[in-house]
Chains A and B, each alone.
Chain A
Amino acid sequence: MTDTKIVVDCATGETTVVTLTAEEIAQREADAAAFAEAEAERVAAAEALAALKASARAKLVAGTPLTEEEAATLVL
Chain B
Amino acid sequence: MANMIPISTVTVGSGGASSILFSNIPQTYTDLVVKASCKTTRDSTIVLLTLQVNGSTAMTWRSLISEGTTVGSYLQSAYGATTNGIGGMPGTISATTNTFGAYEVYLPNYASNAPKSFSAESAFEGNISGSYLWTLSGLITSSAPITSISVLPETSYTLSQYSSATLYGIRKY
Distance (Å) between the CB of A69 and the closest chain B CB?
23
Which of B12, B20, B25, B150 contacts A10 (CB under 8 A)? Answer: B25
Residues in B with CB closer than 8 Å to A11 are 24, 26
Residues of A with C-beta under 8 A to B8: 8, 10, 13, 15
Q: Report Cα–Cα, A45/B40, bound state, in Å.
A: 27
Specify which chain A residues have a CB less than 8 angstroms from the CB of B72 in the assembled complex.
Answer: none
B154 within 8 A of A: yes
Asked whether A10 and B15 contact (CB < 8 A) given A5-B20, A5-B21, the answer is: no
Residues of B within 8 A of A (CB-CB), count: 26
A6-B21 in contact (CB<8A): yes
CA A38 to CA B24, docked complex, whole Å? 34
Interface residue SS majority, chain B: loop
Identify the B interface with A (CB < 8 A): 7-8, 10, 12-13, 15-26, 82-83, 150, 152, 154-156, 158, 167
- Tell yes or no: A3 within 8 A of B by CB: yes
Chain A residues engaging chain B, CB cutoff 8 angstroms: 1-13, 15, 17, 20, 28-29, 31-32, 35-36, 38
Q: Which A residues lie within 8 Å of B7 (CB)? A: 10
B77: min CB distance to chain A, Å: 15
Quick one: closest B residue to A13, CB to CB? Answer: B8
Query: Ordered nearest first, which 4 A-B pairs have the shortest CB separation?
Result: A32-B155, A11-B24, A28-B156, A32-B156
